[in-house]
Amino acid sequence: MGYLSCNAESAIATCDPHNWDLKRKPKSARHKLNKPVEIRDFSYDELVAATNGFSAESFLGKGSHGSVYKALLDNGKFIAAVKKTKISNSTATFHNHRRNCTNCTSCTSPAENEIEILSRVRNPRFVNLIGFCAADHSNNTKLIVVEYMPNGSLYDLLHSSSSSRSPGWTRRVRFGLQVAKAVQALHSSNPPVIHRDIKSSNILIDQDWCARLGDFGLALRGHVEDVRVKCTPPAGTLGYLDPGYLAPGDLSAKSDVFSFGILLLEIISGRNAIDMNYSPPSVVDWAVPMIKRGDYAGICDRRIGAPADPAVIRQLAVLAARCVRSTAEKRPAMAEVVECLKIVWKRVHAPPFWNNLRRRVSCVDESKPLISNQEVYDGSEDVVKVTRVGSRRNRKVSSVSSAEYGSVDIGLGYGNDRMGRSKSIGSSDEIKVSGRKAGVTVKMAAVKLSKSRSMGVLHSQRFVHYNKRGGFVFEFGREVDSELAECDMSKLVIRLDEKSEKEMLVKPLVSI
């Protein structure tokens, strides 16, 4: 195996620094990976200058293997991150180990291993390698230059004390899907790569707010039957580590699936993989019993509450529980995880013109409820009134039977939130829905849709409403599809588009 003898210092690859000078490239060109370029070989002095002597101002963060600094390269034209790691493998233990074994990943330091792996795999979903500086033997340091991720780590986002930084469901699902795709790309490369250290602090957020998988220091490249994989001792991070991975021979891609499941639980709940403030401290022991009971709202991050569509949290939670199953064979493969998350993404993702809609409805301020708490708890009847205007044809409301709306779940995570429809939607211009839950009432104001404007244009003074966990808004324009099989109050159907005669949905959406 060629890579076994590959020394990091000589690991020159032909890869594309697709992220170089991103600012000047159009977005479409950013991820083109077909232009091979050389991994750069930096001098120590060059990186000292680029990081201003590894100054405190350039400091980005510290990990278990060293510190990370922001570097201004090429006369400040290009920003990168420099990982400065100590090569501690000069110890007697290491030399003893190396004498007996020349095959396992422990024979190389994480820094050398990262260079070796990243010089062979490259993907827009990874924090890719730009170059490195050979060991500075005077102080046993190794410098790796990787793409700079300006928006910190997923860990920082999920556990930030500021709730304004806390991502909403759309972004969380998107991050989950992006990470899943990154892991799948590793597993499907030839030979496959097992990351072995998937965790939120190794997920970095790029300038486009996309999640990237980083830190390949523990990654193993090769087939599970390869000698190198077989003789590399287990490694990873406590809390994310597959409990079945106790010996080298236990390793498989399913260990990454387990860690990904922990990450997914962290994304859902906003709690740490191991957190002594919870009982039980392990996120698996805490969440899985709730998932088994169907208490999906119980595992949601309280800062954002449950998603508007209950199917979103149900599918996410069940997927996470499957990933963390103790029997590795029963866990889904990463390809299946990606497919599941794509389905969840479709549910949670607002159509593109939703943003335009938001901008055009000036009265919406999602940061605060439009109805005061007083109104929320005043016990008055709650009304949703959807008015359609337009041609006769357009006025036709979907043929969804009234029975489907007879008793509907508002889909906000409260199991008993039942809303009864006071008027049939099959034959009227107005849809009126009313309902109340003990202690929490939901109130929705009139909403007007007009086909004369672009699809989904809203003429409404107030259409954001409030429940205990914050505002939610209507989402317009989602086409009617199989989701209707699970029709609930959140999926009022309106025919909007005269030309295509596509039925469009209107549904509450948790504000993000």
Ligand X SMILES: Nc1ncnc2c1ncn2[C@@H]1O[C@H](COP(=O)(O)OP(=O)(O)OP(=O)(O)O)[C@@H](O)[C@H]1O
Provide the annotated binding site for ATP.
84
The candidate with the shortest Cα–Cα distance to 215, out of 228, 205, 201, is 201
Give the CB-nearest residue to ligand X: 63
One DSSP character per residue, 488-506 reads: -GGGEEEE--TTT--EEEE
- Decide if residue 127 touches ligand X (CB under 6 A): yes
505, 173, 187, 243 alpha-carbon torsion, rounded to 10°: -130
Catalytic residues: 197
**Which of left, alpha, beta for 294 (phi over 0: left; psi -120 to 50: alpha)?**
left
> Restricting to residues 196-255, which ones interact with ligand X according to CB under 6 A?
201-202, 204, 214-215
Rounded CA gap, 394 and 441, in Å?
Answer: 32
CB of 85 to ligand X, least distance (A): 8
Alpha helix segments (H runs only) across 283-428: 283-293, 310-323, 334-348, 353-360, 373-376, 392-395, 402-406
Of 55-63, 343-351, 400-408, 455-463, which part binds ligand X (CB under 6 A)? 55-63
Considering the complex, state which of residue 118 and residue 299 has its C-beta at the smaller distance from ligand X: 118
Site for ligand X (CB under 6 A): how many residues?
21
The answer to whether residues 193 and 186 touch, using CB atoms and an 8 Å cutoff, is: yes
Q: Choose, by CB under 6 A, the member of 15, 22, 50, 60 that binds ligand X.
A: 60
Candidate residues 81, 154, 273, 341; the one interacting with ligand X per rule CB under 6 A: 81
User: Which CB atom, from 149 or from 442, has the smaller least distance to ligand X?
Assistant: 149
From CA 410, how far away is CA 420, in angstroms rounded?
10
User: CA torsion 303→314→171→308, rounded to 10°?
Assistant: -70
Among 48, 50, 146, 386, indicate the residue that binds ligand X (CB under 6 A): 146
| Residues tagged in the binding site annotation | 84
Among 61, 298, 351, 426, binds ligand X (CB under 6 A): 61
Q: How far is the CB of 152 from ligand X (least distance, A)?
A: 5
Q: How far is the CB of 146 from ligand X (least distance, A)?
A: 5
- Residue 412's alpha-carbon distances to 133, 253, 331, 467, 511, in angstroms, are 53, 36, 29, 9, 12
Q: Using the rule CB under 6 A, is 68 a contact of ligand X?
A: yes
Q: How far apart are the first and last CA of the chain?
A: 49
Closer to ligand X by Cβ: residue 196 or 465: 196
**Residues of span 274-293 touching ligand X by CB under 6 A:** none
Q: Where does residue 278 fall: left (phi above 0), alpha (psi -120 to 50 degrees), or beta otherwise?
A: beta
Judged by beta carbon, residue 267 or residue 297, the one nearer ligand X is 267
For residues 148 to 187, the per-residue mask of contacts with ligand X, x marking binding by CB under 6 A and - elsewhere, is xx--xx----------------------------------
Contact residues toward ligand X (CB under 6 A) are 60-65, 68, 81, 83, 127, 146-149, 152-153, 201-202, 204, 214-215
